[in-house]
C-alpha cells in the first residue's frame, strides 16, 4: 500500500491545482497491472513476469448546478509504485 506521506504530498498538489476539492479525503484503490503480452510478442522479447502496482486516488464531491441539480464531480489521480503521478482525470 502507498504510504501516508506520499498521499499527503499528492493531496497538497491537487488542492493547489483544483481548490474545489480541498478538504476531501480520497478513496485509495490499488491495482496490479500486468504488461501487455502482445507488444512483447511483436518485439520478440518474450513475456515479462513483472506485475506493476498502480494506485488510484479518487476525490468525489457533489456540486449543485444553476438549475439546482446535484451532480458528482470526480477527480481521479493515478500513481505508480514510486508515488509519481501518471495521469489526472476529471469529470465535467
Tell me the pLDDT band of 49, cut-offs 50, 70 and 90: low
Helix (H, G, I), strand (E, B) or coil at 37: helix
Q: Who wins on pLDDT, 79 or 42?
A: 79
Per-residue pLDDT averaged across 60-74, rounded? 92
pLDDT on residue 34:
77
Q: What is the largest CA-CA distance in the chain?
A: 57
Buried b (16+ CB within 10 A) or exposed e, 16-45: eebeebeebebeeeeeeeeeeeeeeeeeee
Amino acid at each position: 500500500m502507498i504510504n501516508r506521506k506520499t498521499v499527503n504530498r499528492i493531496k497538497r498538489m491537487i488542492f493547489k491545482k483544483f481548490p474545489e476539492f480541498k478538504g476531501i479525503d480520497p478513496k485509495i484503490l490499488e491495482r496490479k497491472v500486468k504488461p501487455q503480452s502482445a507488444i512483447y510478442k511483436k518485439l520478440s522479447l518474450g513475456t515479462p513476469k513483472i506485475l506493476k502496482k498502480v494506485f488510484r486516488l479518487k476525490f468525489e464531491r457533489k456540486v449543485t448546478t444553476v438549475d439546482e441539480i446535484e451532480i458528482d464531480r470526480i477527480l481521479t489521480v493515478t500513481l505508480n509504485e514510486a508515488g509519481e503521478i501518471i495521469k489526472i482525470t476529471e469529470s465535467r
